Structure 1
Amino acid sequence: MDNLLTDRAFWVNYWERKRGLSINVPANYLFHKELGTIIKEQQVKTAIELGGFPGYYAVFLKKYFRLDVTLLDYFIHQPITNSLLEANSLQVNEIKVIETDLFKYEPEQRYDLVLSCGLIEHFVDTADIIKRHIGFLKPGGTLFITLPNFKAVNGWFQKQFDPENYKIHNINCMDPELLAGICRAQGLEVIKAGYYGNFSIWLEDEQHKPRLVRLFKKMVWTAGKVFTKVIPFNSRQLSPYIILEARKPAF
Structure 2
Amino acid sequence: MEDQLTDRAFWVNYWERKDDLSINIPNNYTFHQQFAQIIENQPIKTAIELGGFPGFYSIFLKKYYNLDVTLLDYFVHQPITNKLLTENGLKEDAIHIIETDLFNYTPEQQYDLVLSCGLIEHFKDTADIINRHINFVKPGGTLFITLPNFKALNGWFQKHFDLENYNKHNIDCMEPALLAQICSNAGLEVIQAKHSGYFSIWLEDEKRKPLPLQLLKKAIWVAGKILTKTIPFNSKQLSPYIIVEAKKPL
Letter in 2 for 1:165: N
1:208 and 1:125 map into 2 onto residues whose CA distance is 32
Instruction: Determine if the alignment matches structure 1 residue 185 to structure 2 residue 185.
Output: yes
Partner of 1:120 in structure 2? 120
Work out the CA distance in 1 between the residues paired with 2:19 and 2:215. 22
Paired position in structure 1 for 2:196: 196
- Corresponding residue number in structure 2 for 1:237: 237
The Cα RMSD (Å) is 0.5
Q: Distance in 1 between matches of 2:33 and 2:115?
A: 14
In 2, the alpha carbon distance for the partners of 1:74 and 1:67 equals 22
* Distance (Å, rounded) in 2 between the aligned partners of 1:100 and 1:92: 19
Deviation at 1:20, TM superposition (A): 1.9
Q: Which runs of 5+ in 1 are unaligned?
A: none
Deviations 1:162-197 (A, max 9, x none): 000000000000000000000000000000000000
* Deviation for aligned residue 1:35: 0.4
Deviation per residue, 1:53-80 (Å, 9 max, x gap): 0000000000000000000001000000
Counterpart Cα distance in 2 of 1:31 and 1:214? 26
**3-state secondary structure, aligned to 1:94:** coil
Per the alignment, residue 96 of structure 1 pairs with 96
Distance in 2 between the 1:214 and 1:151 partners?
A: 21
Aligned to 2:136: 136
One-letter code of the match for 1:85? L
Stretches of structure 2 lacking an aligned partner (at least 5 in a row): none
Distance in 1, Cα, partners of 2:34 & 2:228: 21
Which secondary structure does the structure 1 equivalent of 2:103 belong to? coil
> How far 1:6 moved relative to its partner?
0.3
Matches within 5 A, 1:157-172: 157-172=157-172
Equivalent-residue separation in structure 1 for 2:66 and 2:163 (angstroms): 40
TM-score normalized by the length of structure 1: 0.99
The superposition leaves residues 188-214 of structure 1 with CA deviations (integer Å, 9 ceiling, x where unpaired) of 000000000000000000111111111
Distance 1:4 1:211 in 2: 32
TM-score (norm 2): 0.99
Tell me by how many angstroms 1:43 deviates.
1.5
User: Identity rate of aligned residues, in percent?
Assistant: 70
- How far apart in 2 are the matches of 1:182 and 1:77? 32
Q: Which runs of structure 1 show a deviation greater than 6 angstroms over 4 or more consecutive aligned residues?
A: none
Matches of 1:210 and 1:154 in 2, distance apart? Answer: 18
- 1:149-164 counterparts in 2 under 5 A? 149-164=149-164
How far is the alpha carbon of 1:231 from its aligned partner? 0.7
- In the alignment, the residues of structure 1 paired with residue 17 and residue 223 of structure 2 have an alpha-carbon distance, to the nearest angstrom, of 30
Return the alpha-carbon distance in structure 1 between the equivalents of residues 192 and 150 of structure 2: 19
Aligned: 1:47 with 2:43? no
